[in-house]
Chains A and B, each alone.
Chain A
Amino acid sequence: MNFFQLLQQRKWHAVFGYLLFIGMMSTGYYYNLTFVQLGLEDFAATQLNLGADVIARDMALLAICTCLVALGFGWWMEQQCRRQQFKTKIRISFGVVLSQALLTLYLPLITTEAGFMVWVVFSSIALGVGVPAMFSMTIDLIPVRDRGYVAAIVTAIAYFAAEVFSSEWTFEFFRQQFLWILFLGAAGIGGLAFLKVPWIGSLSNQHTLSEYGIGRFVRTRSDNKSIPSRIVQQMLILMFLIYFIDSLGFLRMLKVPALMHSSWQSPVFSDRLFIAVVHVGGALIAGVLYSSLNERHLFYWIFGMFALTHLQYSLHLRTYGEGKVTLALPMMYALTVSLYTVINFSIWADLSTPKTIGMHSALGVASSAWTATFLSTGLAIFWQGRGMTLEQHIQIVDSLAMLAFLIMVLFAFFKKQEKLI
């Protein structure tokens, strides 16, 4: 790892860069996993008494707006060289964190659906700007060799915290948790953005170094152009499929209390701790494998494991109905989710140059992840509305995962292998 070399060489500014990136990304993802995905839904249902379809529509609005803002901002970053400067990114991040802190603070004042929609639009603007700005800091702060490991640490912290420190899935619980984190974070980033910190100057130039700037999978000159190269397009499709399969299955399982109360929402702390530890283990495995294997191999594992996980759930539903599950089922799910999250955190930077990172991360995170989540949410609600049983639903998700896995294996089978040394 480069990190240990930097420690030995006492390059404290670079070490600080690691800590800054890990802190920002893990907190941001933790916020997204809990407050945005679970807390907002709870707020709309319990405080505003909105129906499931209305909540789904509002969450869709959040997804679409975030996606559009991220794409627009990513494109803008690519066009404006000044926007690619590290100092500018820090300032933008400060704006994003402060906005989210204020939005989180004032959420309880919302009493009508129209007000909630306005809140959602403002929040999506902050999220949409935050995605390309924060993801693009990867090339400034994290050397190519360490991206897998750093993504693993970010994923491990976010999932561990989300599982262990979220005993209640209510908006007020998450709000109390995040208010001080966001305000403290905003103060810290604000200090870096507007005060004269000597390390910031050194960090600003890191992307020009060969260890940082050019991603691991950038191999041709077309990878530095605005139009996404073939490999970027392939990754967009694969990540879209992964997010789609994951959220299509999980969103429906989320509505079954027996499944959730025996796993992710278990009142027994040791159950949640077990899942958290699996998330951490899965993230570390993914970090090591991402740094050592070809990116395609990890996708085989992810699709194969999703197929296996949903098959497990499918068999459970057929034999025991919608009853309690053993921890073996969420264990496989958590392992798979950790694997793909690590890839999502590192691959967009590894497919990019300093010029294209903004657009690629916007395309990757906003377009494939948010759009997939939005579409799968809509589809899940539509199927539920038409009376599809959970068993049938999971069976379809399982089939999709299996199909994706088989298609990938088939492609791999006929792909001309590069001769290994």
Chain B
Amino acid sequence: MKDKQFWLIFSILFAFLCNGCSRNGFYQVSFITEGEHVIHSSLSGDLIILGGSVTILKNALLDGDAHLIAGKLRLDGIIQGNVSALGGTLQVGDHAKINGVLNHGGGELQGSQIENAVEKINTGTRIQIPEVSSQQHQTIIGTLGRWILNAFLIGLLALVLNNYLAGQLMRVGETEIKHFWVSIAMGILVGVVGLTLLVLLAYTLVLIPVALLGMFFLGFSIVFGWISGAVFLGKMAAEKWGRAYSKAEVFGSVFVTIFCFSAIGALPYVGGLANILFGTIGLGATFLTRYGFRRFTPETLYDQK
């Protein structure tokens, strides 16, 4: 219980600390989602408008960037930074001044003096999307090389993880193999809910870094699951053949598994589905065992005991 109290108090203090950063001018943002707001004198930090309306009166100052996603921004004062309009309505008054750049990607621009208010306007309708070479154009040797490189790098990662978290890898792997359906069910749930949550976080713009971190976390969980499954299967095979499970075997089992995943993934029609399946199993088992820090026992078995 003391541990829990510590973590609870720590979380609250951490939240205060984060809040304190904004007070010290480290980073400040105003997030408008509804209602009518008027800036009379000055506002520090960035301004994000997702709904409602904001009016910056004559001589009033926004000391940061403004991002208009939806809603209305009436500008008759000064904006020190850039203005990005992705949606909604941007009304530029006669006394408006944008010291940065106006990025117009969507929404409506109103006002006859826009050119006088800002020096540079970027319109977002002609963004050149770089051409990405398609995988179909790759040669067989190139594709094989990519698979081998993938398998080699993940094999190396497996060696590092096995050095420090051998027990955890075993528990996750055991769950994947012994509780296959539960791992899939949990993996789908975590995947769908996790991705939805990350998209929502990214939608707020300010939380894009958190969303990216979350994506990395989800991706790492999947790879952790793959490695665990491969290590567990490798150990089972080694025991069956009466061999010691050395570092070379760990690397070998992960290398072969990841190479096989890549090869299966390249199959037409079923390859993509198979990769999603492998991903969900890994993700589900990783979450069920809390990254292998506890052993997963189905509740029905637990009830019977």
Contact = CB atoms under 8 A, between A and B. Distances in A.
Interface of A: 145, 216, 281, 284-285, 288-289, 291-294, 301, 304-305, 308, 311-312, 315, 318-320, 328, 331-332, 335, 391, 413-414, 420-421
B115 to A, nearest CB: 29
B70 A319 contact: yes
Interface in B18-75: 33-34, 50-51, 69-70
Nearest to A391: B34
A288 B200 contact: no
Contacts of A285: 185, 188-189
Given A293-B299, A420-B297, A413 B188 contact: no
B136 interface: no
A308 B196 contact: yes
Interface string B255-274: 00000000000000000000
Given A311-B200, A312-B200, A319-B51, A289 B302 contact: no
Nearest to B195: A328
Contact of A328 (B34, B70, B196): B196
Given A288-B181, A318-B33, A420-B297, A308 B193 contact: yes
B197 interface: yes
Nearest to B204: A315
Nearest to B7: A413
Contact of A413 (B4, B70, B184): B4
Contact of A292 (B50, B70, B203, B300): B300
A420 B294 contact: yes
A328 B184 CA distance: 21
Contacts of B203: 315
B196 A312 contact: yes
A292 B298 contact: yes
A118 B200 CA distance: 48
25 contacts: A216-B300, A216-B303, A285-B189, A288-B182, A288-B184, A289-B182, A291-B298, A291-B300, A292-B179, A292-B298, A293-B298, A293-B299, A294-B299, A301-B193, A305-B193, A308-B196, A308-B200, A311-B200, A328-B196, A332-B196, A335-B189, A335-B192, A414-B1, A420-B294, A420-B302
A335 B194 CA distance: 14
Q: Identify whether the interface residues of A are mostly helix, strand, loop, or mixed.
A: helix
Given A288-B181, A315-B203, 19 more contacts: A284-B185, A288-B185, A289-B185, A292-B298, A293-B182, A308-B200, A312-B196, A312-B200, A318-B51, A319-B69, A332-B192, A332-B196, A335-B192, A414-B4, A420-B295, A420-B297, A421-B295, A421-B297, A421-B302
A294 B200 CA distance: 29
Interface string B65-94: 000011000000000000000010000000
A289 B186 contact: yes
Nearest to B181: A288
Contacts of A421: 295, 297, 302, 305
A256 to B, nearest CB: 17
B147 to A, nearest CB: 31
Interface in B245-300: 294-295, 297-300
A320 B87 CA distance: 10
B203 to A, nearest CB: 6
Nearest to A392: B34
Contacts of A304: 193
Nearest to A319: B70
A319 B300 contact: no
Which of B4, B179, B185, B199 lies at the interface centre, i.e. has the most chain A CB atoms within 10 A of its CB? B185
Interface in B176-213: 179, 181-182, 184-186, 188-189, 192-193, 196-197, 199-200, 203
B8 interface: yes
Interface in B112-134: none
Interface in B199-251: 199-200, 203
Contacts of B70: 318-320
A414 B200 CA distance: 29
A312 B8 CA distance: 28
Given A318-B51, A319-B51, A420-B295, A292 B196 contact: no
Contacts of B294: 420
A301 B8 contact: no
Nearest to A304: B193
Contacts of B200: 308, 311-312, 315
Contacts of B303: 216
A421 B296 CA distance: 8
Nearest to B8: A413
Nearest to B303: A216
The 9 closest A-B pairs by CB, nearest first: A318-B51, A288-B185, A292-B298, A319-B70, A285-B185, A292-B182, A288-B181, A294-B299, A289-B185
B191 to A, nearest CB: 11
Nearest to A294: B299
A318 B51 CA distance: 6
Contacts of A332: 192-193, 196
B117 to A, nearest CB: 26
Contacts of A293: 182, 298-299
Which of A291, A320, A391 lies at the interface centre, i.e. has the most chain B CB atoms within 10 A of its CB? A291
Nearest to B189: A285
A318 B34 contact: yes
A390 B196 CA distance: 22
